[in-house]
Amino acid sequence: MPDPDILVPAADVTAFATRLLDAVGVPPTKSQLVAESLVAANLRGVDSHGLQLLPYYLEQIEWGDMDAITDGRVISEIGSCLLYDGQNGIGQAISDICCAHAIRIAAASGLGMVVARESNHFGAAAFWAQKMADAGLIGIVMCNASALVPPWQGKEPRLGTNPICMAVPGGEEHPWLLDMATTTVAAGKIFKAKINGQPQIPPNWAMDAEGVPTTDTETALAGLLMPLGGYKGSGLAMMAEILCAVLSGGAMSTELGGIRFRGKPVRVSQMFLAIDIARFLPVAEFRARMDRLIRIMKTTPPAKGYSEVLVAGDPEWRMEQERRKSGIPVGPGTWKALCEAGERLGVRAPVR
């Protein structure tokens, strides 16, 4: 039996995370932003992009692999397009500035596209797309990531899980929000199958070390993640790689580091596209149309074995309502790492 999760109220764990970041020299507004972005992912149930990242962020800063202070700088802004140099700053700090630029430019000219290079892990893409949606715009976010996935028909990692994310302002229905890796599943799902003692995983999740599809959990763990739907997933990952890294002049594919590797920067690139709805039709009309589309989907008769049809963002929105009340369950491994960091840095954990 693994240790149980530690249940912590969102506010307490946000404060704890903020103080840990303060303690390694992150300026207060940046500490707060990073903590909020991670806890937001936990609230939505996306624990892979929540507090479990914080120990790595702290290490990156303590080792000098990431610059806790810099705001990065604008390289160029020409018309609707802005190129940003993250200067190896904290991903969330860079993304916050880039999002603000995208929103500002879209407000001025209808579309704003910001591409940042030399950035770092920015948490969940959803946090940034939502920021644009909260400003009444359609927000599209992509990034490249450490090479963990082979291109289709290959057997060595050359692409990241490169996510594609879009958020749309909501009407009466809660906001539609897609945030998906371009692999069939996240690596965490295969780990979870092992932890839960499941010897088999569904087809199309993973491949063995020779790139042959497998449903054996152990083989998959020693193997490779499968691109979503085979060649299509590789195509979508390349789309993100091109719009982020090729266009930014940043690190591509195997040139990236990773948050779990010490001694070199991550060098990730990120793309933020904001679309001003009002240039096409009145925002109220758009919101009403979104409601109608969502309802068309949600009133589809459910397939056998399901009780309802959901749209992108539904499961996470429900989880957030629940966790705002009940608190965030932090996994025992993550909790231990956070508490150890707290002891090292002289920051007291909120519980135990």
Residue 55 or 163 having the CB closest to a second copy: 163
The answer to whether 312 touches 178, Cβ cutoff 8 Å, is yes
The C-alpha atoms of residue 99 and residue 48 are separated, in whole angstroms, by 23
Phi, psi of 112 (to 5 degrees): -135, 125
Near a second copy by CB under 8 A: residue from 103, 207, 225, 337: 207
Q: Is 342 helix (H, G, I), strand (E, B) or coil?
A: helix
The C-alpha atoms of residue 182 and residue 140 are separated, in whole angstroms, by 15
- Single out the segment in contact with a second copy by CB under 8 A; choices: 9-17, 191-199, 208-216, 330-338: 208-216
First to last CA, the chain: 20
Evaluated on CA atoms 255, 256, 258, 264, the torsion sign reads positive
- Give the closest residue to 106 by CA, choosing from 135, 74, 141: 135
Amino acid at 249: G
CB contact burial 20-34 (16+ within 10 A = b; e otherwise): bbbbbebeeebbbbb
Near a second copy by CB under 8 A: residue from 55, 89, 170, 233: 233
Residue 70 or 215 having the CB closest to a second copy: 215
The answer to whether 217 touches 193, Cβ cutoff 8 Å, is yes
Residue 15 or 107 having the CB closest to a second copy: 107
Least distance from C-beta 323 to a second copy, angstroms?
A: 21
192 touching a second copy, by CB under 8 A: no
**CB atoms near residue 308 (< 10 Å):** 9
Strands 6-8, 328-330: parallel, antiparallel or unpaired by DSSP? antiparallel
Least distance from C-beta 88 to a second copy, angstroms?
A: 19
The answer to whether 128 touches 122, Cβ cutoff 8 Å, is yes
Q: State CA 28 to chain mean position distance.
A: 22
Least distance from C-beta 119 to a second copy, angstroms?
A: 15
Interacting positions 107-166 with a second copy (CB under 8 A):
108-111, 113, 115, 138, 150-156, 158-159, 164, 166
Near a second copy by CB under 8 A: residue from 286, 320, 330, 350: 286
Q: Is 206 helix (H, G, I), strand (E, B) or coil?
A: strand
Near a second copy by CB under 8 A: residue from 247, 339, 345, 351: 247
Q: At a CB cut-off of 8 Å and minimum separation 6, what does 218 contact?
A: 194, 199
Near a second copy by CB under 8 A: residue from 225, 243, 256, 268: 243
Binding mask 83-102 for a second copy (x = CB under 8 A): x-------------------
The C-alpha atoms of residue 54 and residue 224 are separated, in whole angstroms, by 25
Near a second copy by CB under 8 A: residue from 73, 289, 324, 344: 289
- Single out the segment in contact with a second copy by CB under 8 A; choices: 27-35, 238-246, 259-267, 327-335: 238-246
Least distance from C-beta 94 to a second copy, angstroms?
A: 16
Near a second copy by CB under 8 A: residue from 52, 146, 248, 334: 248
Interacting positions 163-182 with a second copy (CB under 8 A):
164, 166, 168, 176, 178, 180
Residue 153 or 321 having the CB closest to a second copy: 153
Interacting positions 212-231 with a second copy (CB under 8 A):
212, 228-229, 231
Interacting positions 22-81 with a second copy (CB under 8 A):
76, 78-81
Interacting positions 296-335 with a second copy (CB under 8 A):
296-297, 300-306, 308-312
